A and B are shown apart, each in its own frame.
Chain A
Amino acid sequence: MSFPWANEYKPSHPFMKWMDEKLPLPRLVYNSVGGGYPVPRNLNYFWNFGFLALICLTIQIVTGIVMAMHYAANTAVAFDTIEHTVRDVNWGWLFRYAHANGASAFFVVIYIHIFRGFYYGSYKAPREMVWLLGVVIFLLMMATAFMGYVLPWGQMSFWGAKVITGLFGAIPLVGEPLQQWLLGGFAPDNAALNRFFSLHYLLPFVIVGVVVLHIWALHIPGSSNPTGVEVKTESDTVPFYPYYIAKDGWAVGAFAFLFAAAVFFFPNSLGHPDNYIPANPMSTPAHIVPEWYFWPFYAILRAFTQDFFFIPAKLMGVLAMFGAILVWFFLPWLDKSPVRSGSYRPTYKKFFWFGLIPAMAVLFYCGGAPAAEPYVMFSQIAALYYFAHFLIILPIVSAIEKPLPLPYSITEAVLGKDDGAELAPTA
């Protein structure tokens, strides 16, 4: 679907006419990222991050495929094949650093993309499906990144895999057998490394598939915008090409600049030094920490230090860690406010900036810190707020808060007045 005023694809060259009859791929492109796709004219830079996520996904797939050509998923040689790639393969170091830092860049971009959704209420009708597919992508990304980190078979690879798969052991009754089944053994070893490699190669393509659905679902209502007021007339929109191609294009340039700065000048800053030590099942690292993008959820996992009635602390932690992401699935139905954008929701906005953002910051910090006081207490307070925010505050605030008056249309928001406003029935 699109808006009635969308430009129509009119091939003029005979070949393009022929193509359009046989396989209307150019038409599809024209209607999804070309002149035939109208987009709100008032999008701010937060709406560039979906496009940047696409760029990140592409970087990961391209660099990953090249690395896989030199990698061997065998515990005896995995570490050495990576070092061989970095030292002896032409530009191998560049592919390796780009892939490792690319994962971090991808998560930076995706966290901004998701928090844009929280602030602007992008998850609400009519874009629930876009959001749900997004959460699925995020879960797939986490699984992919986790398994990828195991592949170099360094100390953190091994011990991270051991700790995370150990979490399944907390599930009552089936936990232990499930954990052994997942690993193909009692501890991470060759069997686990092989299946992780297999899945790490597979999942990005599953993500590609879900991204196609994500964008398909998005293109049915079209993008929301910073006012949260839906598109009404043609003057609310501009065609994707050239307007947003140009905007996304320069944003990609800026992103690539920052990314290159990290890859070429600080390639190891985000990694853990211990992963340059080959895996050694006999020697436990002083602090086992996952990659930074898992820190908030790792902090939530470790925040549950006490059994709660009959539920063991470890199981509580596991439930909460998964629950922390699963609640996102329910947001479209927990947030009752008819207004989307946080800019017009004074109370919600305060909870967003002074509650959710600081709580996330604390969780990020504590997840990377040792499991000792006072960090554990900080993460307990922050995790408490996190759950309260989504499950208690949001449903209540969204029901009682009085939103600010909305502009009549995007055109009015941008130009100060909308000539169509008088003719149209009052909304």
Chain B
Amino acid sequence: MARILSILVGLFFTVALLWSFGLGFYTWTTEPAAATAEHEFHLHPKNVHFASDGPFGKFDNQQLQRGFQVYKEVCSACHSLSHVAFRDLEQLGYSEAEVKAIAAGFTVPGTDPNTGESAMVPGSPTDYFPKPFANDIAARAANNNAVPPDLSLMTKARHNGPAYVYSLLTGYRDQPAELLKHFPEAKTPPGLHYNPYFANLNLAMAPPLSGDGQVEYGDGTKSTVDQMAKDVAAFLIWTAEPTLEKRKQTGWAVLGFLLFATILGYMSYRNIWSDKKH
């Protein structure tokens, strides 16, 4: 009885699936999915290497400082960095005094010490990076109806994030003639910019790194677009995970200990079982 019921229930599900499959298969053979411009022209991020990659990866503080400079002088006009506090910058090798000076260069929402009213005041090391726009509406109004996302976690919030940021910043180009020929309706709308690394190929951010020498590096590194893109991507790896270096270092110590403990455990297991065939 139980088995008859079971077979009936089984038939119910299998027949329903066959039905779904049959119709799906029919549609699939008769109406092949239409090709889209995204599908044909979207590119995966370029191959790029960072000092923090790999199991032994370490941050290159020189590079992080350059990347920070790019963020400060270019990206911060539109993008917030809300999970990072000025005090965190000490990890990049800035001294306490330098961090104080950097913080004071930003104005953050605070209280006027004389009137008690809300006011914009100079930042201090415990403050977080301020938002460039008062709210999303203001951000949209200034950016062709798109909100520039917070950058703190950007390299974790996209597949292959660091390479993606680098590719996006260096990937702007004119729309290929091929694309316009096959997909005339996919022409980049006014106010958007063509970039094959962006999921739907057109984004509201104008190329932020537009020419060599846009920032002037203090350490003598030549600030080509490629270099600035790499540096800011490296900086964003750090903002997304300031503990990355500690994680990897701790990891080796833990793995070493566990290997040792496991070998001891295995040896005592062999020893204890040596008199028992099993």
Contacts and interface: CB of A to CB of B under 8 A. Distances in A.
A399 B158 CA distance: 52
A284 to B, nearest CB: 13
Given A80-B83, A384-B21, A395-B7, A264 B255 contact: yes
A41 B278 contact: yes
Contacts of B24: 305-306, 373, 376-377, 380
Contacts of B17: 303-304, 380, 383-384, 387
Contact of A260 (B14, B246, B255, B265): B255
Interface in A355-396: 372-374, 376-377, 380-381, 383-384, 387-388, 390-392, 395-396
A265 B272 contact: no
A277 interface: yes
Contacts of B9: 323, 391
B242 A381 contact: no
A267 B247 CA distance: 10
B25 A395 contact: no
A59 interface: no
A252 B277 CA distance: 22
Given A247-B269, A250-B266, A384-B21, A333 B2 contact: yes
Interface in B1-28: 2-3, 6-7, 9-11, 13-21, 23-25, 28
A344 B113 CA distance: 83
B243 interface: yes
Interface residues of A, number: 67
Contacts of A383: 13, 17
Give chain B's interface secondary structure class. Answer: helix
A265 B251 contact: yes
B206 interface: no
Given A387-B13, A391-B9, A250 B277 contact: no
A334 interface: yes
Interface residues of B, number: 58
Contacts of A276: 153, 156-157, 240
B232 to A, nearest CB: 18
B7 A391 contact: yes
Contact of B158 (A41, A252, A273, A311): A273
Nearest to B17: A384
A42 interface: yes
Interface of B: 2-3, 6-7, 9-11, 13-21, 23-25, 28, 33, 55, 83, 88, 149, 152-153, 156-159, 161, 199, 240-243, 246-248, 250-252, 254-255, 258-259, 261-262, 265-266, 268-269, 272-273, 276-278
